Amino acid sequence: MLAAAVAEAKTEGAEAVIHCGDVIGAMTLRPVLRLGLPMHVVHGNNLGDAVAMWNLCASSGGLLTYHGQDADLRFHGRRILVTHYPHYGRGLACTGDYDIVCCGHSHEAAVEHQPNIKGTRTWLVNPGTVAGLAAPATWILADLAELKFDIRLLGP
């Protein structure tokens, strides 16, 4: 299901993939690597085999970056923090240090414009669960230039 979402995102012009955790196994990522989009992954509470994950990264030719607990990324002039837990994500969004904070864990797709302590707002983005575990299978396509986020349903 992850590969199907990434393939759809690629046809829509995506340049990279951010995964907010619970990959569980490196084998989940192998089909995605064939699609050729760089992927940034953080772990969640279902870490799986970390050694296999690191080995897959090492053999991915730079397509896969496994960041561990969180990632501080920059794309198209936007600073993006990626973590698994929504309560960490909300707290980090409140600092105003990031344009976008991505989180997962809840399996509930949501996009919020979170007020922060700098008097502005930070986008708090949760793609839900691409695997459709106890919720619809969802992912998010983001336009970083326009700061627009589209929650997508996977499947027919």
Which is the CATH superfamily of the domain at 2-153? Metallo-dependent phosphatases (3.60.21.10)
Confidence band for 25, pLDDT divided at 50, 70 and 90: confident
C-alpha dist (Å) from residue 26 to 22, 41, 60, 70: 11, 11, 11, 18
pTM reported for the whole predicted model: 0.95
H-assigned helices in the chain: 2-11, 30-33, 50-58, 86-93
**CA distance linking residue 75 with residue 77, whole number of Å:** 5
- Percent of the chain's residues with pLDDT above 90: 85
pLDDT tens readout for residues 56-101: 999 999 999 999 999 999 999 999 999 999 999 999 999 999 999 9
pLDDT, average across residues 118-134: 96
pLDDT, average across residues 116-122: 98
Q: Which amino acid is at 145?
A: A
Q: What is the mean pLDDT of the chain?
A: 95
What does the pLDDT read at residue 101? 98
pLDDT tens readout for residues 138-155: 999 999 999 999 999 997
Least confident of 3-12, 17-26, 119-128: 17-26
What does the pLDDT read at residue 156? 62
- Please spell the DSSP secondary structure of 50-81, one letter per residue: HHHHHHHHHTTTTSEEE-TT-EEEEETTEEEE
**Short-list 145, 141, 156, CA closest to 8:** 141
**Short-list 32, 26, 30, 25, CA closest to 10:** 32
What does the pLDDT read at residue 50? 83
Work out the burial of residue 145: count CB atoms within 10 Å of its CB; fewer than 13 is exposed, 13-18 middle, 19 or more buried: exposed
